[in-house]
């Protein structure tokens, strides 16, 4: 889908520098996409051997709020983006004084706080699970009984299931709140879920927006495990996807958002759609676009930053994405650490391996992903099952 355009910003030609705050795997894949298009990339991250810093043309090793480091990045780069939502909004404001910054500090400030995010989504008229903002123990005491059982989520700095606790009662909610150090939270009612899926979109500075085919997501222990993308849908599924795509576009427009954005949705057992959360960046569930779409989400991020036309989001074939966690580096029989058998993985010819260059494999740590592309979704699932078997990963769909 696309919106009517407004006058575009001046394009930044290949050969110039683009900047990235954050040195994780999303920054790494952005670097690789930008470099393939002829750009040079500077990454600002405090970690010496970070995934993006290893492939960037320049790694500025400073804290995200270091004034000298931010000045170096802004002096070098005509446009700057971020790979994670917890970058200090003040840093983005400072960078915007001299460089094109996307997404803007104002949009990130809303999305990085779950309380502000929930209020904003509701303001956009997008349905949400019932929730309450929790600033203190009194808010839990006053919370409606309909929010129990529920999930207590820290308002800031939570990801991959961290900073979250399932609670069955008011008493458990109080205990979880104390375990979070009394930090602000949101308390959400547990809903009867049928499925989860996400919408990834890109919106340019000219106001045009494009959306990718929806990915159906399966999580294990709060971490995305599998994303499945079909090319054919039932009438009901297609209607839900259109509804979600429009909701995501409304959110992006309401935020004044420019860049790549993901909105996660729940489908309830009665068929209703509710929004879960916003990610102001490329998303794990969009990794399939690297091998199954005309334009990947990371190339799209480059195009937005550089003021270039957006690419096609057409899906070339059905796809399935498997997350690779550090667990696969540990022998399932002995628990001893060893290198996974990548040859066994790649005996599946339609498996596309993407490793993030992280120095240490740890259980629960995202180390890479594998995209399985095939003429049919059934064939992609069969290929995923073979790959999962080679890695001794649980897999069932």
DSSP 92-110: HHHHHTTSEESS-HHHHHH
Would you say 352 is a known binding-site residue?
A: no
The annotation status of 371 as a binding-site residue, yes or no, is no
Residue 27 near residue 43, CB atoms below 8 Å: yes
Q: Is 196 annotated as a binding residue?
A: yes
Give the CB-side neighbour count of residue 8, counting CA atoms within 13 A.
Answer: 15
Annotated binding residue at 153? yes
CA–CA separation, 372 and 158 (whole Å): 29
326 labeled binding residue: no
Q: Annotation-wise, does 250 bind a ligand?
A: no
Kindly give, in sequence order, each residue whose CB lies less than 8 Å from that of residue 31, ignoring residues fewer than 6 positions away: 20, 41, 43, 52, 55, 56
Q: Please choose, from the candidates 319, 334, 338, 318, the residue with its C-alpha nearest in 3D space to the C-alpha of residue 391.
A: 338
- Phi, psi (rounded to 5 degrees) for 53: -60, -30
Q: Does the annotation flag 159 for ligand binding?
A: yes
Q: Which residues of 226-245 are buried (b: 16+ CB within 10 A; e: fewer)?
A: bbbbbeeeeeebeebbeebb
The answer on whether 297 is annotated among ligand-binding residues is no
Q: How many CB atoms lie within 10 A of CB 343?
A: 8
- Tokens 């547990």 locate to 190
CB 307 within 8 A of CB 283: no
**Residue 309, both tokens:** 């036309």
Q: Is 301 annotated as a binding residue?
A: no
- Kindly give the interhelix angle for 114-123 and 235-255, rounded to the nearest 10 degrees: 110
Report whether 182 belongs to an annotated binding site. Answer: no
Lookup result for tokens 């069932």: 396
Chain centroid to Cα 77, Å, comes to 24
Whether 163 has a binding-site annotation, put simply, is yes
Q: Which residues line the annotated binding site for ATP?
A: 114, 153, 158-164, 196, 219, 276-277
Binding residues: 114, 153, 158-164, 196, 219, 276-277
């Amino acid at each position: 889908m696309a919106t009517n355009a407004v006058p575009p910003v001046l394009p930044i030609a290949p050969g110039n520098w683009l900047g990235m705050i954050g040195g994780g795997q999303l920054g790494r894949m952005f670097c690789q996409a930008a470099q393939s298009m002829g750009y040079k990339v500077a990454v600002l991250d405090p970690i010496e051997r970070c995934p993006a810093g290893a492939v960037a043309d320049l790694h500025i090793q400073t804290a995200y709020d270091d004034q000298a480091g931010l000045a170096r990045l802004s002096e070098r780069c005509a446009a700057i983006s971020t790979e994670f939502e917890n970058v200090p909004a003040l840093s983005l404001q400072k960078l915007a004084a001299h460089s094109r910054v996307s997404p803007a500090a104002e949009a990130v400030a809303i999305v990085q706080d779950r309380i502000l995010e929930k209020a904003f989504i509701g303001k956009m008229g997008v349905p949400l699970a019932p929730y309450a903002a929790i600033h203190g123990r009194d808010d839990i005491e006053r919370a409606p009984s309909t929010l129990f059982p529920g999930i207590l989520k820290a308002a800031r700095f939570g990801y991959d299931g961290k900073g979250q606790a399932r609670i069955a009662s008011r008493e458990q909610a109080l205990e979880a709140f104390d375990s979070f150090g009394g930090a602000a939270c949101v308390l959400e009612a547990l809903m009867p879920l049928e499925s989860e899926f996400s919408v990834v979109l890109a919106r340019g500075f000219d106001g045009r927006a494009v959306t990718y085919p929806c990915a159906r997501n399966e999580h294990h222990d709060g971490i995305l495990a599998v994303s499945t993308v079909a090319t054919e849908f039932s009438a009901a599924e297609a209607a839900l996807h259109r509804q979600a795509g429009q909701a995501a576009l409304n959110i992006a427009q309401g935020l004044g958002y420019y860049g790549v954005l993901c909105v996660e949705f729940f489908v309830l057992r009665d068929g209703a759609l509710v929004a879960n959360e916003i990610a102001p960046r490329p998303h794990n569930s969009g990794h399939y676009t690297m091998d199954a779409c005309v334009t990947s989400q990371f190339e799209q991020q480059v195009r937005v930053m550089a003021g270039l036309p957006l690419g096609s989001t057409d899906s070339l074939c059905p796809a399935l994405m498997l997350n690779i966690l550090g667990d696969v580096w540990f022998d399932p029989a002995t628990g001893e650490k060893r290198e996974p058998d990548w040859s066994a993985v790649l005996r599946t010819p339609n498996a596309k391996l993407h490793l993030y260059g992280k120095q240490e494999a740890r259980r629960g740590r995202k180390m890479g992903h594998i995209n399985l592309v095939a003429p049919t979704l059934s064939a992609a699932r069969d290929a995923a099952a073979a790959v999962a078997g080679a890695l001794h990963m649980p897999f069932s769909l």
